[in-house]
Structure 1
């Protein structure tokens, strides 16, 4: 059940005087409707309806069932009426209560923060159902309603201060909650010193300490992401020394299986493109091949030191009027062996879209037989079940080829780099975090693997599980040796102690901030803390904002709140005090292209100061810093001239937000010395900017590249993570989209984006296509570009060659696409 118990038109509820028609509802209305001082909770009316006089039901959590005073038929009929028709009266009673509380507690609601709470904020404070989820807009005062709810609960004597806890996800946020609580209570003349503000981790450790008599230690290497990865690499080195089999597995995964395979027949994303726009895959030895499966074979051959040629001309002439010269996939010149890799399944069938493919297979087999050349074959089925490698090893070694596995073989310039050790360690650390958060053991992980969709590259996933098994065992042993635990174990252990009653929780009101960052382990702990009757859980978050995936955050905890907590009121804070309406509209439209986001309509009364979005493009990356400096100089001059009003601190504040720390402009310190008297500047990553705001936001690198730093990042969750995580957000670049929403909504006035010709971010392209921003040069002249249809990142530019001007992609030589020339079409007409 999900609803807005405190929603609706106040006038409609004020005029509703007639009691309900149903006898059960009339009893409910008489008992609570006229003088209810407390919010009528869901648990009071739904789970245990009790039969009283004449089929009348009333809910009292501590009251025992009275005897049936009606026949079973009448009882069942009354119960059915209750189950199907109780909600309108429940809503009506709580609306009357809310209107009364808005009036009675007006002084508190107007004074608890520096400015009076809005009605939607006040309603969220007053709503004291057992489970309440508040979906908040950026800048809508999430912290304010948490602090106000604590003050309201104490003021109305619902509970004592020491029965309230506010939980945050890091120490800084918890300290801010505590400071805000102290200031608000002081403003109200109340004593709220007993209200606790803490982190999930601190609370979890305290619970374990109470339940066991000994608070466990969390080693530093288990908390810091970088230190955790270093610890994993130490474990890997130890396992390599102990086992050649493990060493080979680790090297093979990095070198050959660093990438997943798309399902058979699905279009692939290339690393490079030919002149016709066909995507190509790069290999470790610098080749460009036409399929992911061929790339895996190439990488295996390179890792083993096998000399081969890709798509070389066949030794006999086969070209005719209808066909070009035959080029077998692989040729091993040292042993004069040809090798074709066929896109065939276990039954010898090709993907449906590969027309006449099987006929081509037959032609190649017949040609080799006729010409007396030796051909070996591999298939898609063999690659996907892993059998291809034993097959190739037998075919090659039986003909005298010696395999020489070497993970340190030099990689040619411009080739695909293998997965780095630290990259694989980071993947493993994230996998451990999610697997533990979801309480998944080895057997359950393999069961999840078996149930993955058809087309998944299960052989690769199985290799990963074979790798991670001994690593997790060593990780847990290292923790045990130090008498410690990691955060994921700690949260689950704390939840279990509470679930089993080994630790009694004193909190009647549990509030969680930034709930979009909740992992399943955190959600489990919250659920355990409020499992007893009469407890309240109040979660505040914004699923439109980016989440801490690296810390195990699972957005489905928020979007599936009811399935986690059985029921819940869904309230919304839709008024923002930060962004002007035009920026609210742009950012909302952008992030809600993802249909899984919870709908809300963000509105603002903040006046606009100049254009809310600007975008500037320079010709080369080296020109970005000068462009940003010119903008700051212009802003500084307009502030000095009085054309731009000063901000809250007597200056104009500017955030420079980067996708990465490396996006920080080097001259920032020098710019501060030049313009710091009027402009307060600071650099933050988009992730770390959550909860902060500034007058202006500058995004210095709205750039999408084929390689290197890009925004949005082209890196996606490795598919092996599906074994450790629930099915989550599958929308393309969903997390990067939420991250850009965070960047856009930090601004009180305007967002200014900078990009480079031929490397314009696809997010910026989307805003341009939506006609909400125009990209200009520094002189304000509009820039029009034609995006390359092949790589979809570069732009079509005019070049000069030996035969005159021609057009090609700006990403040449990685993308060699050339649009057909006008002369080509003229000649075709002739």
Structure 2
């Protein structure tokens, strides 16, 4: 027998058998007196040798164990050295081949190293000790921080590529790329998120990355796809790419730019042999709302129960309750003492939205009731002789802190002092929010002989609270359907989310909404099935499923997604599926500060928690803007970045200033807004003619009038073309539609309280179909205002109406970002109403002489006690 470092060889007069020590082909069997050795070679030969003494067998086993340990150690040394060589090769790849070291490559090697280490742990068992110092030759290299070394190699590559590819970076767009743009182009990690400030050239970066990938041989033109959110954006990407390739002398290069919709149809069509039908009403937002309105009307006609529940929600549960124990979040008005109140459907003014909810439920069900003051109760039901006390409590069971000391103790006093000899019903906040209180009221009233009579068409008093409109509820349902389908939530999953709500949430409202939504979603799906079609969210999810299951494949090595801050969960899932195969690259570009399409299914967490969706992701930033001057950048950034849930960035501008970058002008009446816009345009023309303003890029000064709503286009003078057309290029757009566009001057004519910001931006019911959202107050409306501010290359002018200043405008004034003036430039000097915080105190005349009161009367009836007319400036008299 011969034993070396790798093999055990046995030679007999008739046979020869050699077996690797690392294999399982050597076995010693111990008998009572003798041992036998069995060999099984890799080529199938077998040899059995009997007659070994126990002592010889023991000695042979020791020799075998030691030889095996040495062989494994040699094998490990070889594996370690091979691994180190491969790790070094990645660094060489970056330097010599000018290739980025991707996370995928790094992870594969790190997993190999982990496997080698795991094998070594087994070798270090007491039965097979390693020779001392066996790892000394490569231990230092083995223990090195290779991810840091690879990162250094990547950064070296980036620096070298800035030089090597300078000609491409200078020629690919109409102006040379900035260094941060070029570095984003060079970075070819598998998952890259680019957080791009407004006006920072994200489209230029995407186009340049496509050109760089082709020029460096990373991807062929047919292996690149650029995804946009609408046809206009996709067409712009396609045209920009072709112009860029022509500048580089490569007009034959062709990459694909498509909407998510078109790409999903393409994937499904290729996998199944035909493209699915997507009805127009399932794609277009307005058409979808109109179709849903038809379906809801049909449901009402078919089912009296559905109609009753639908109108019950609109009239009674349309307005969400504030957090337990908090003050009125949206007061309907203020009394003359400045105390806020909520108005019921019947017109009563109550201090609590919980009391208002109870009153509206009673009204809808046809119950005769009286509010407050009756024997210390909150409600009295005269037909039943029943008194009702509702205890508004916070989450700890205490009266709210904003209640006065008398109010905090009143309920407890009247329960003890007034209930004797009377029929009493008691409810509290938790019972109201859970829905138990409504069952208690129904049972108590029916026991007293009062039958509930829910009536959807009961006439509403003119001075009562305006209920949630059909249009608003239908729009909310359409948004809910989009989110539920985007997140692939069926009815069971939605019900599970309802059950998981915190105990202090308004669960009864959510339950009633989900009850309606189930019927509406079913009707929506049936309408799709009737046309043999699917909707946008179904299509995205089906395309992703086909890719994930291997039933479909795509040729795209480089997937680029534009406006990624507006991606829904379904879009993010499709992007993940497109880039899931080895050696694929996802390049997602967006700005969470401009995420303004939640109503269309956008989920900002896709941007702010990028790594949660895509695993490891490299985050880069484009912080240099080529649009807004620095002063305007600073104002807009300070405003929007007060929301801590958003990504942090510092925006730097390369645009010079042309006079004041932000102005705020107040007019006396809303009817004067159009005239104010006309005067502002006249002023701009005069500045152009006098040389104070230079013409814009097209020889004229470009002006954008941006509205929160479409109807604000009426603020543009009808004869503007004749008056200003020779000097100005004027456009109107809603702020939502203006994203991606820019102008020299931006005018926002509708910065009014109750209009902008919209108070109905985020309904709590959407939480049932979405992950934990952005809870910062008016978060999406703030981002919308940021979009408006950052469309301007020179100046933004904000217009408001006296007594109706938007809280956003008030915030800018309070922060010192702008001074509120009249059209003639005089500073507005007014006393803000301390009650409602929106109106101003103005001088009025009455039967008993002059007095001051809030300009928002009758919504706010506040009058300062013993106020003298001289206390407040008379300039406020202009407000009607």
TM-score normalised to the size of structure 1? Answer: 0.88
- Structure-1 residue corresponding to 2:830: 785
1:382 to 399, 414, 431: 431
Q: How many residues are paired up? A: 777
1:600 to 630, 633, 649: 649
Structure 1 segments unaligned to the other structure (5+ residues) = 1-21, 52-56, 59-63, 315-325
1:332-351 matches, cutoff 5 A: 332-343=381-392
Larger relative contact order (C-alpha < 8 A, sep ≥ 6)? Answer: 1
- Structure-2 residue corresponding to 1:773: 818
Q: What SS does structure 2 have at the residue aligned with 1:665? A: helix
TM-superposed CA distance for 1:337, in Å, is: 4.0
- Structure-2 residue corresponding to 1:798: 843
> Which deviates the most, 217-226 or 376-385?
376-385
Q: What SS does structure 1 have at the residue aligned with 2:485? A: helix
Distance 1:364 1:621 in 2: 48
Task: Tell me, yes or no, if the aligned pair for 1:686 and 1:742 is still in contact at 8 Å.
Answer: yes
> Structure 1 residue 363 and structure 2 residue 424: aligned?
no
In 2 relative to 1, CA 50–80 (structure 1 residues): closer, same or farther, beyond 3 Å? farther
- Structure-2 residue corresponding to 1:474: 523
Distance 2:573 2:336 in 1: 54
> Structure 1 residue 412 and structure 2 residue 474: aligned?
no
TM-superposed CA distance for 1:275, in Å, is: 2.8
Distance 2:835 2:252 in 1: 62
TM-superposed CA distance for 1:32, in Å, is: 3.5
- Structure-1 residue corresponding to 2:498: 449
> Structure 1 residue 432 and structure 2 residue 471: aligned?
no
TM-superposed CA distance for 1:358, in Å, is: 8.3
TM-superposed CA distance for 1:365, in Å, is: 3.7
1:212 to 248, 268, 272: 272
Distance 1:738 1:481 in 2: 39
Distance 2:571 2:675 in 1: 46
1:225 to 264, 279, 285: 285
In 2 relative to 1, CA 760–582 (structure 1 residues): closer, same or farther, beyond 3 Å? same
- Structure-2 residue corresponding to 1:716: 761
Distance 2:632 2:508 in 1: 47
Task: Tell me, yes or no, if the aligned pair for 2:820 and 2:828 is still in contact at 8 Å.
Answer: yes
TM-superposed CA distance for 1:755, in Å, is: 1.0
1:37 to 98, 104, 107: 98
Distance 1:80 1:456 in 2: 58
In 2 relative to 1, CA 361–601 (structure 1 residues): closer, same or farther, beyond 3 Å? closer
TM-superposed CA distance for 1:585, in Å, is: 1.2
TM-superposed CA distance for 1:351, in Å, is: 5.8
Distance 1:271 1:414 in 2: 11
1:527 to 576, 579, 591: 576
1:293-304 matches, cutoff 5 A: 293-304=354-365
TM-superposed CA distance for 1:67, in Å, is: 11
> Which deviates the most, 81-90 or 284-293?
81-90
1:566-577 matches, cutoff 5 A: 566-577=615-626
TM-superposed CA distance for 1:216, in Å, is: 0.4
Task: Tell me, yes or no, if the aligned pair for 1:652 and 1:695 is still in contact at 8 Å.
Answer: yes
Task: Tell me, yes or no, if the aligned pair for 1:546 and 1:687 is still in contact at 8 Å.
Answer: no
2:240 to 168, 180, 200: 180
Task: Tell me, yes or no, if the aligned pair for 2:547 and 2:578 is still in contact at 8 Å.
Answer: yes
- Larger Cα-atom Rg: 2
In 2 relative to 1, CA 82–591 (structure 1 residues): closer, same or farther, beyond 3 Å? farther
Task: Tell me, yes or no, if the aligned pair for 1:240 and 1:246 is still in contact at 8 Å.
Answer: yes
> Structure 1 residue 280 and structure 2 residue 341: aligned?
yes
Task: Tell me, yes or no, if the aligned pair for 1:656 and 1:698 is still in contact at 8 Å.
Answer: yes
For 1:418-464, what per-residue CA distance to the aligned partner results, in whole angstroms no more than 9, with x for missing partners?
22222211111111110111111111111111211221011111111
Distance 1:30 1:360 in 2: 76
In 2 relative to 1, CA 88–796 (structure 1 residues): closer, same or farther, beyond 3 Å? farther
Distance 2:216 2:395 in 1: 71
For 1:307-328, what per-residue CA distance to the aligned partner results, in whole angstroms no more than 9, with x for missing partners?
322235x4xxxxxxxxxxx653
> Which deviates the most, 164-173 or 627-636?
627-636
Task: Tell me, yes or no, if the aligned pair for 1:368 and 1:375 is still in contact at 8 Å.
Answer: no
TM-superposed CA distance for 1:246, in Å, is: 2.2
In 2 relative to 1, CA 336–83 (structure 1 residues): closer, same or farther, beyond 3 Å? farther
Task: Tell me, yes or no, if the aligned pair for 1:209 and 1:216 is still in contact at 8 Å.
Answer: yes
> Structure 1 residue 729 and structure 2 residue 789: aligned?
no
Task: Tell me, yes or no, if the aligned pair for 2:335 and 2:341 is still in contact at 8 Å.
Answer: yes
TM-score normalised to the size of structure 2? Answer: 0.83
Q: What SS does structure 2 have at the residue aligned with 1:311? A: strand
- Structure-2 residue corresponding to 1:739: 784
Distance 1:734 1:393 in 2: 39
Distance 2:138 2:598 in 1: 48
- Structure-1 residue corresponding to 2:198: 138
Distance 1:81 1:721 in 2: 54
Distance 2:621 2:518 in 1: 43
Task: Tell me, yes or no, if the aligned pair for 1:303 and 1:407 is still in contact at 8 Å.
Answer: yes
For 1:336-363, what per-residue CA distance to the aligned partner results, in whole angstroms no more than 9, with x for missing partners?
5433323369998756887687864453
Task: Tell me, yes or no, if the aligned pair for 1:619 and 1:757 is still in contact at 8 Å.
Answer: yes
- Structure-2 residue corresponding to 1:658: 707
In 2 relative to 1, CA 464–367 (structure 1 residues): closer, same or farther, beyond 3 Å? same
- Structure-1 residue corresponding to 2:6: none
- Structure-2 residue corresponding to 1:12: none
- Structure-2 residue corresponding to 1:308: 369
For 1:469-489, what per-residue CA distance to the aligned partner results, in whole angstroms no more than 9, with x for missing partners?
122122212212211100001
For 1:17-53, what per-residue CA distance to the aligned partner results, in whole angstroms no more than 9, with x for missing partners?
xxxxx978983576445414211111111343376xx
Task: Tell me, yes or no, if the aligned pair for 1:262 and 1:456 is still in contact at 8 Å.
Answer: no
> Structure 1 residue 103 and structure 2 residue 185: aligned?
no
> Structure 1 residue 243 and structure 2 residue 316: aligned?
no
- Structure-1 residue corresponding to 2:152: 92
In 2 relative to 1, CA 76–599 (structure 1 residues): closer, same or farther, beyond 3 Å? farther
TM-superposed CA distance for 1:76, in Å, is: 14
- Structure-2 residue corresponding to 1:331: 380
Distance 1:88 1:25 in 2: 16
Task: Tell me, yes or no, if the aligned pair for 1:25 and 1:86 is still in contact at 8 Å.
Answer: no
Distance 1:350 1:548 in 2: 39
Distance 1:86 1:342 in 2: 64
- Structure-1 residue corresponding to 2:854: 809
- Structure-2 residue corresponding to 1:686: 735
